[in-house]
């Protein structure tokens, strides 16, 4: 077991809490100490609820001592991205504009976590309004990657991934519209799950939209922990008009450990490796061989339909931006980076015809991917073409020695969302897990996707790889001195 | 991108890029008027040009026949 209780997984910690070997109060006190020590550097939290977390921990300890154990999240400290409402606290979206935007209600996911006994530690820093993948130069500070504090953590759920990676929470809630859970999970060496659209209620994700490509999901240190959280937060919610009545066929946690013999695993022959560094390509192909060794059969799959994604984005790009237009005109100084403001303003020039045509392209892509998932059970791809890049980088080298100019429109998203966005547009679940391989000492995420509502299968496959070859490791930086291998 | 109808040197007639930028500048001024200063207008142009290029590609890729005789043009 990895040393240092704050680096333990939820599934390792829960039995200790249930048995009384560790008190939730002890967990909260230790993690608050770590946050106080490390977060001035990492800036992964916007707000920390010390008193409420300690009070919650004392209550959980009493309940458990009285024999009222609620399950594996009881007494476990978790964090929430700051675009998800927690009653009585600001939901800032990482923006100066909403710095004092206090909500009087919990998001449905927060309410469900509380009912399961989880302790809400605080709200995580993020790329403002969820509109970027770096978390750099934000109003509440630049979030730093625990693996190398000179690098970005990814985004937009960058604070959540950095906190989980560095032992500042046992798990976190993120949101994912273009890859905002999976990319930071990949860059920070943790697990990030984007569930099927509609499976997890978005009531309380702010600003409220009718978007068809946004989801809420868990960021954790292990696949089993993601399954534990998903089993709690999934399910129909009448308060969310986009919530689905169709649920999962059984518990995700129950599916883990059953083996993957006979699994049909798809490897893309196009699109996903176009920009990838050769080392990243090797990581994915090595992972495919691991799956083969576990009994899977491999099939190369043509995903060239994804080259049309830039066209489909006409139907996805500007909904939340329309919410922000009044701010973009009246409060230009209130955007942390000018790029976001210009993207908001540019949203005014997407026509209704473009939107309709974009939807048609998206539907064509979905139909093709439906066919793909007739032939294979799970697609295996890289999550990003490179590991996390430097905070101060102007250009980043991708495969073939080419350079991506981060100052150009679309430059950052080419690195942070190009390989994750396709599954948002299709609407299927996708997960990023640590590959167990490192490039320049940085973690590389493997992404897997499957058809709608097959999260139990997806997580079973991810857990099989995790057990065989991958898995979370605490960041090796001397800053993280609690780490004791073995 | 070079203008296929213009001189390769770029002298004389404006290039496609220049025409697109001018079009975007005009659209921005029409939409936002004095709400944006000239610095903002120039910075916004590349973002609007991207949308205009995508719009052209979409129109070439997807036709929009009406299926409703009441609204067919």
Select the residue from A307, A308, A338, A346 to test the B interface by mutation, using most B Cβ atoms within 10 A: A346
In angstroms, the separation between the Cα of residue A405 and the nearest Cα of chain B is 14
Q: What rounded mean pLDDT belongs to chain A? A: 94
Tokens at residue A278, please?
């050769």
Which runs of E-coded beta strand occur in A114-197? 119-124, 171-176, 191-194
Contact A205, A237 (CB under 8 A): no
Which residues does A372 contact at the CB level (< 8 Å), separation at least 6?
A: A266, A301, A303, A379
Give the span between the Cα atoms of A291 and A288, in whole angstroms: 5
**What is the model's pLDDT at position A479?**
55
Q: Does B41 touch chain A (CB under 8 A)?
A: no
**pLDDT at residue B73 greater than cutoff 60:** no
Q: Give pLDDT, residue A248.
A: 87
Check residue B68 and give its pLDDT. Answer: 61
SS3 category, A88: coil
Contacts of B30 in chain A (CB under 8 A): none
Q: How many Å apart are CA A138 and CA A127, to the nearest integer?
A: 7
Determine the Cα–Cα distance for residues A391 and A151; give it in Å rounded to an integer: 5
C-alpha to C-alpha distance for A296 and A423, rounded to whole angstroms: 22
Question: ipTM of this predicted complex?
Answer: 0.88
* H/E run at residue A442: strand A442-449
N residues, chain A: 486
Note the pLDDT tens digit of each residue in A454-466: 999 999 999 999 9
**Residue B2 pLDDT:** 34
Residue from A211, A472, A451 nearest A320 by CA: A211
Interface test with B, best of A132, A315, A337, A345 (most B CBs within 10 A): A345
State how far Cα A414 lies from the chain centre.
18
Q: Are the CB atoms for A195 and A215 separated by under 8 Å?
A: yes
pLDDT of residue A484 exceeding 50: no
Which DSSP helix (H) or strand (E) runs through A47?
strand A45-48
Stretch A209-214: mean pLDDT:
78
Chain A residues interacting with chain B (CB cutoff of 8 angstroms)? 308, 310-311, 313-314, 329, 332, 338, 342-343, 345-346, 348-351, 353-354, 356-358, 360-361, 408-410
Burial per residue of A359-393, b for 16 or more beta-carbon CB atoms within 10 angstroms, e otherwise: bbbbebbeebbeebbeebbbbbbbbbbbbbbebeb
pLDDT interval class at A280 (50, 70, 90): very high
Hey, what are B14's tokens?
């404006």
Q: What is the pLDDT of residue A259?
A: 87
pLDDT (0 to 100) of residue A408: 87
Q: Taking chain A, what is the end-to-end CA distance rounded to the nearest angstrom?
A: 6
pLDDT of the residue at B7: 38
Which two tokens mark A119?
Answer: 């302790």
- Positions of E strands within A67-142: 77-81, 119-124
CA dist A406 and A207 (Å) reads 27
- Phi, psi for A296 (deg, rounded to 5): -80, 155
| DSSP characters over A375-441 | H-SEEEEES-SSSPPBTT-SEEE-GGG-EEETTSTTHHHHHHTTTTHHHHHHT--EEEEEEEEEETT
Do B31 and A348 make contact, defined as CB atoms within 8 angstroms? yes
Q: What integer is the mean pLDDT of A305-319?
A: 88
Alpha helix stretches (DSSP H) within A294-389? 309-312, 319-330, 338-346, 352-375
CB-defined contacts A:B, below 8 A? 64
Query: Helix, strand, coil: what percent of chain A each, to 5?
Result: 40, 15, 40
The percentage of chain A sitting over the pLDDT mark of 90, rounded to a whole number, equals 88
Residues 6+ apart with CB under 8 A from A19: none
- pLDDT-derived band of residue A247, with 50, 70 and 90 as boundaries? confident
CA A368/CA A378 separation, integer angstroms: 15
In A, which residues are within 8 Å of B71 by CB distance?
none
Q: Is the pLDDT of residue A480 over 60?
A: no
User: What average pLDDT score do residues A37-59 get?
Assistant: 97
Residue B37 exposed, middle or buried by CB count within 10 Å (0-12, 13-18, 19+)? exposed
Interface probe for A, chosen from B43, B47, B65 (most Cβ of A below 10 Å), is B47
Q: Identify the helix (H) or strand (E) that includes residue A16.
A: helix A10-19
Q: What is the largest CA-CA distance in chain B?
A: 51
Mean pLDDT value across residues A183-195: 98
Q: Are strands A264-268 and A297-301 parallel, antiparallel or unpaired?
A: parallel
- Least confident window among A35-49, A180-194, A312-326, A333-347: A312-326
Rounded to the nearest angstrom, the minimum Cα separation between B70 and chain A is: 18
Q: Is B52 on the interface with A (CB under 8 A)?
A: yes
pLDDT interval class at B41 (50, 70, 90) = very high
Q: Tell me which of B8 and A423 has the higher pLDDT.
A: A423
CB contact under 8 A, B47 and A358: no
Stretch A443-461: mean pLDDT:
97
Q: Do A314 and B47 touch (CB under 8 A)?
A: no
Main-chain dihedrals φ then ψ at residue A414, nearest 5 degrees? -60, -35
Segment A223-239 mean pLDDT:
97
Phi, psi of A121 (to 5 degrees): -80, -35
Q: Is the pLDDT of residue A482 over 50?
A: no
Q: Does B29 touch chain A (CB under 8 A)?
A: no
Widest distance between CA atoms in chain A? 62
The verdict on whether omega for the bond into residue A207 sits within 30 degrees of 0, i.e. cis, is: yes
Closest by alpha carbon to A116, among A232, A253, A251? A232
Nearest CA in chain A to B60: A357
């Amino acid at each position: 077991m990895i040393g240092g209780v704050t680096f333990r997984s939820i599934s390792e910690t829960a039995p200790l809490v249930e048995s009384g070997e560790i008190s939730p109060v002890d967990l909260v006190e230790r993690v608050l100490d770590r946050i106080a020590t490390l977060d001035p550097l990492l800036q992964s939290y916007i707000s920390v609820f010390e008193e409420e977390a300690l009070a919650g921990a004392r209550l959980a300890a009493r309940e458990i001592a009285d024999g009222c154990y609620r399950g594996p999240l009881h007494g476990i400290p978790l964090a929430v991205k700051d675009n998800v409402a927690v009653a009585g606290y600001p939901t800032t979206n990482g923006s100066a504009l909403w710095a004092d935007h206090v909500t009087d209600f919990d998001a449905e996911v927060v309410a469900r976590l509380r009912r399961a006994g989880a302790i809400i530690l605080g709200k995580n820093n993020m790329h403002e309004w969820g509109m970027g993948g770096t978390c750099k130069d934000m109003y509440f500070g630049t979030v730093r990657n625990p693996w190398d504090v000179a690098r970005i953590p990814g985004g937009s759920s960058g604070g959540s991934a950095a906190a989980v990676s560095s032992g500042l929470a046992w798990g976190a809630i993120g949101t994912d519209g273009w890859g905002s859970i999976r990319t930071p999970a990949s860059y920070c060496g943790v697990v990030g799950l984007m569930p099927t659209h509609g499976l997890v209620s978005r009531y309380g994700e702010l600003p409220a939209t009718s978007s068809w490509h946004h989801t809420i999901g868990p960021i954790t240190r292990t696949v089993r922990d993601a399954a534990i959280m998903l089993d709690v937060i999934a399910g129909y919610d009448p308060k969310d008009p986009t919530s689905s009545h169709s649920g999962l066929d059984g518990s995700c946690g129950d599916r883990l450990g059953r083996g993957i013999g006979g699994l049909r695993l798809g490897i893309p022959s196009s699109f996903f490796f176009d920009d990838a560094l050769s080392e990243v390509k090797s990581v994915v192909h090595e992972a495919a061989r691991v799956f083969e060794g576990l009994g899977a059969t491999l099939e190369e799959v043509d995903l060239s339909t994804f080259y049309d994604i830039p066209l489909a984005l006409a139907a996805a790009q500007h909904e939340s931006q329309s919410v922000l237009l009044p701010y973009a005109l009246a409060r230009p100084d209130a955007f942390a980076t000018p790029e976001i403001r210009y993207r908001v303003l540019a949203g005014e020039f997407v026509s209704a015809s473009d939107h309709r045509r974009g939807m048609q392209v998206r539907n064509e892509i979905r139909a093709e991917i439906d066919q793909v998932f007739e032939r294979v059970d799970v697609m295996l791809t890289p999550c990003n073409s490179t590991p996390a890049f430097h905070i101060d980088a102007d250009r980043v080298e991708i495969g073939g020695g080419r350079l991506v100019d981060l100052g150009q429109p679309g430059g950052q998203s080419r690195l942070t969302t190009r390989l994750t966005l396709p599954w948002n547009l299709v609407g299927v679940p996708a997960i990023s897990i640590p590959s167990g391989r490192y490039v320049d000492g940085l973690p590389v995420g493997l992404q897997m996707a499957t058809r709608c509502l097959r999260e139990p299968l997806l997580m079973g496959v991810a857990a099989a790889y995790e057990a065989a070859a991958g898995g979370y490791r605490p960041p090796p930086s001397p800053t993280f001195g609690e780490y004791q291998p073995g | 991108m070079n203008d296929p109808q213009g001189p390769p040197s770029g002298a004389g007639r404006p290039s496609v890029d220049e025409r697109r930028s001018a079009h975007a500048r005009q659209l921005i001024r029409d939409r936002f008027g004095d709400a944006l200063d000239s610095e903002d207008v120039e910075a916004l142009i590349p973002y609007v040009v991207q949308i205009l290029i995508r719009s052209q590609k979409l129109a070439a890729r997807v036709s929009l026949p009406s299926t409703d005789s009441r609204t067919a043009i």
